[in-house]
Amino acid sequence: MFAAWDDRTQQHPQETPMNASTHALVAVAATSGLVDLFERQQQAARREVDVPLALRRERLQRLTAMWRHNEGRLAQAVGQDFGLRGERLTQVADALVLDSVLADLRRNLARWSRPRRVRTPLHLLPARAFVQRQPLGVVGVISPWNYPLQLALGPSATALAAGNRVLLKPSEHTPHTAQLLAELVAQHFAPEEFAVVTGGVDVATAFSALPFDHLFFTGSTTVGRQVAEAAARNLTPVTLELGGKSPCIVDASCSDLDGAALKIAVGKLLNGGQTCIAPDYLLLPRGREAAFADAYQKAVTRLFPQLVGNADYAAIINARQHQRLQALVDEARALGARVDDVGPPALGTPASEAEARQMRPLLVFDLPPQARLLHEEIFGPVLPVLPYDDLGTVIAYINARPRPLALYWFGQDEAARDRVLQGTVSGGVTVNDMLMHIAHDGLPFGGVGESGLGAYHGETGFLRFTHEKAVFVQSRFGRGDLLYPPFGARFDRVMGLIRRWLR
């Protein structure tokens, strides 16, 4: 099914984590052991429905300690998988977001976990009501290759904090990272609590077909559809964090084109452009193309004085992805588009296969409508530039396409900004900067339409992995009997009084 996969016993705090004997279970889980591992978690979740706050905190502390003590090793594994991606890049791209998620969970866990009182309407008094927050049970997390630490451990940490058991399936395109995560989790958690399964398409297919209480997937829209289809057979609710064509608008009121170009270059070129919320195309006032190209080239050179061998500039993850990107650019050229290399002067030739995958930053102008660069998610350092004449055209262009995961706007005209915010629908927006809405713990992060289903981060994420159970407690003074049959004059009087209150 997933032909294009990822194209992209009661537990207590004092229990002994998974030992050497259970390493075999993780390895076997790639085949028949996967179902056994899931069933162990499911049985444990059904035995221990109420997971005490102390146990949730302890699991979160264990995960935090695992992360802090092994961050360097994990960053090295990520570097191995990319072939060329520096540890500092992983610090800003993965570690910073994950540190923020873990701190937010530790800070707010007690408040988010407690029951929430609900006001009781007058006609139901003197009863009382509250919402009880409970774990869903077993949560499956399928994580992608582009940010293989924060997009694996962030959702997993949130699900654990909510009291769930977690099975994590990392991407097969980052095998060193996946294997190290499996080993570390096995050392810090019992298999009934949290476990990692590794493997390729066969494992991914079997994983998504398990009857999880919730399935969380991050990846491409194409595979997201397949995951949702597999989950639907079990009526498993899903969160789908996908991608799509995220626009960046430079408004006519943008007076600092150099500053905007620098921020756009940061957002576009982070991780070699392999970011789900990177700007996928730029909408620019007609006549400013040359000025923007000059500003963007200066920004790129400032950020990356050289490209070849520069660990700050990630290689494209593998040869297949690199070939896909090159094919998109070649097609654009063949259709008459102008492709500008805006990278710094080349200082030497690639000395390795990974250095050869450090694709140079490109701006593309005069693209015809049929070009695949305008229809497929790019996921690389290529930025199409589309000139526009008026803001209405911009809004119409965005709305004629699937709803994007992110939208970016640069300018000083608040009325124009609000017109875009009110006239378009996207997963999230950053104004006068790039990517920053994902860094704010208080903001929900997720897509809409083809860019995703459901959101997480902060309390939104905690509730994504939580069942909010409605509880109504009747008072011994309650008079619900006044509405019991047989119906007659007394019923009419009581019903009339209640309806007058309600109206």
Phi and psi (nearest 5°) for 344?
Answer: -70, 165
Cα 67 to Cα 185, 269, 439, 501, distances in angstroms? 10, 26, 19, 56
| DSSP per residue, 51-81 | --HHHHHHHHHHHHHHHHHHHHHHHHHHHHH
- 466-495 burial, b at 16+ Cβ within 10 Å, e below that, comes to bbeeeeeeeeeeeeeeeeeeeeeeeeeeee
What is the distance between the alpha carbons of residues 213 and 231, in angstroms, rounded to a whole number?
A: 10
Helix (H), strand (E), coil (C) string for 131-144:
EEEEECCEEEEECC
Among 241, 289, 377, 450, the active-site one is 241
Whether omega for the bond prior to residue 361 falls within 30 degrees of 0, making it cis, is no
What is the distance between the alpha carbons of residues 311 and 477, in angstroms, rounded to a whole number?
A: 71
Q: Which of 182, 218, 198, 174 is nearest to 85 (CA)?
A: 174
Tokens of residue 267, six digits: 């957002």
Phi and psi (nearest 5°) for 14?
Answer: -85, 0
> 466 has which bridge partners?
135
Other C-beta atoms lying within 10 Å of the C-beta of residue 369? 7
Beta strands in 235-381 (DSSP E): 238-241, 247-250, 281-285, 338-341, 362-365
Cα 213 to Cα 38, 74, 164, 187, 193, distances in angstroms? 11, 29, 9, 25, 14
Q: Which residues contact 146 (CB under 8 A, 6 or more apart)?
A: 8, 271, 274, 275, 276, 317, 379
CA contacts within 13 A on the Cβ side of 341: 7
Residue the block writes with tokens 């520069």: 310
**459 labelled catalytic:** no
| DSSP per residue, 344-393 | PPP-S---SHHHHT-PPPEEEES--TT-GGGTS---SSEEEEEEES-HHH
Tokens of residue 127, six digits: 């009863």
Q: How many residues does the chain have?
A: 503
Q: Catalytic residue numbers?
A: 241
